[in-house]
Amino acid sequence: MFAFTTYKIIFVSVAALMVLLTVLASYHILDVSSAIQIGQPQQPQQTHQPQQQQSPQPTEPQAEQPSGNTEQKLTEEQRQQFIQEQKQKPLLPKVNELYSLKPVREASENITSTVFMLRGDFSSSLYDLFSLHKRATRYCDKDTKISGCNVKLSRNYRWGTLSDKLLDVLEHMCKTPKRTDFYVKIDDDLVMSESKLDEVIKVMATTDCQITGGIARDYGFYWPVGQIYIFKRAILEKICPQLPVTNVFHPSEDITFGSLLNTTDRSMFCNLDKVMCKAPKKTDFYVKIDDDLIMSESKLDEVIKRMSTTDCQVSGRIARDFEFYWAVGQIYIFKRAILETICAKLPITRQLHGSEDISFGSFINSTDRSMFCDLDTPRNHWHKDYSDKRIKIEYLIQHNE
């Protein structure tokens, strides 16, 4: 009985204490949330002050995340370091403040250019067979085993250090006293005739565009991407002073090049396809050819001559996996009228598919089968199909002459 009475007294006392704490809290004398946390040191009591509305704090600008196909993921520390570095770098001035070429607008025949490529032991072994850029300066590793190098750099590189290689190449060109009007970075597996390259450069000289090539923006700046991009002398002059203090943050040499420019001024860039549409001189036929097709110029001329006698607008292997016909295969030929149709659509064209052939078909967007003729008919307009991989390269060269 005595024990029951004792428990009853304790229960009533605890209940009374809780009521008292609740009353005190209602008058802001005690913070209940801090008082009931057992084992936690209580904070000094503060008299209630009216809360002042806090002004919103500026948020930290977030860098755009890399696209899914990057070769190397940045750590959070590297990412934050890059953000801080970009804050300290001013963006490039507008195009009209940059050095412009004297022959601009006139497109002088005396325009000079420097073509350079990064070659390594992992480069395409078929380069010497397929490439037509005999004037390109080939920058190779220090201990390279490949032939055809014009300049050997002071160290060796691999896929993950191509950014370092590009910076070393740019530094080498910056130390060269003679400057040219244009600089062309070209991959060693791109097949493009010198005459076509000169045509693009000549057209670009008539524009305010500073860089041409495929353009991307996976970071806080634009950067050129693809097998080739061309930039004017003013860009090199802008880059040279930055090279001694530039730290590589990404293995892609193209992204690194974009970080040197650090600009979001889209007017500085122009697309190679649009440059071709601005060409002052149009030809009767245009030929898209893959770099692994073996076909002599005489045979190509024969096909074009025969096609000129028909109403066919596009020649090549034809497919229709979508709601339009599209040219597929190692080669297709189209007439000037097709280019004129495509040029009008380029400013508003969005990429439909990863295949360039399907995208080409979407430009035409035609279900008129009469516009297309198949190169396979007649078959005698083609060389032998070199599907046998055991055939010797020497025979291919001899047969193609």
Give the model's pLDDT for residue 184: 92
Confidence of residue 233 (pLDDT cuts 50, 70, 90): very high
Give the model's pLDDT for residue 125: 55
How far apart are the C-alpha atoms of 130 and 117, rounded to whole Å? 15
Give the model's pLDDT for residue 297: 79
Give percent of the chain with pLDDT exceeding 70: 60
Which residues have C-beta within 8 Å of that of residue 37, sequence separation ≥ 6? none
Give, as one character, the DSSP assignment of residue 247: -
Give the model's pLDDT for residue 368: 80
How far apart are the C-alpha atoms of 113 and 186, rounded to whole Å? 13
User: Residue 278: helix, strand or coil by DSSP?
Assistant: coil
The lowest-confidence range among 25-39, 118-132, 193-207 is 25-39
The lowest-confidence range among 124-128, 301-305, 395-399 is 395-399
pLDDT tens-place string over residues 126-146: 554 444 456 788 888 999 887
Which residue ranges form the domains of the chain, and what is each CATH number? 95-276 (3.90.550), 285-400 (no CATH)
280, pLDDT greater than 70: no
Give, as one character, the DSSP assignment of residue 313: S
14, pLDDT greater than 90: no
23, pLDDT greater than 60: no
Contact status, residue 201 vs residue 140, Cβ threshold 8 Å: no
Tokens 């064209």: give the residue.
349
Confidence of residue 153 (pLDDT cuts 50, 70, 90): very high
- Whole-prediction pTM value? 0.52
Give the model's pLDDT for residue 167: 94
56, pLDDT greater than 50: no
Round the average pLDDT of the chain to a whole number and report it. Answer: 70
Report DSSP letters for 262-327, one per residue.
----GGGEE-HHHHHHT-SS--SEEEEE-TT----HHHHHHHHHHHTTSS-SEEEEEE-SSSS-EE
Give the model's pLDDT for residue 89: 58
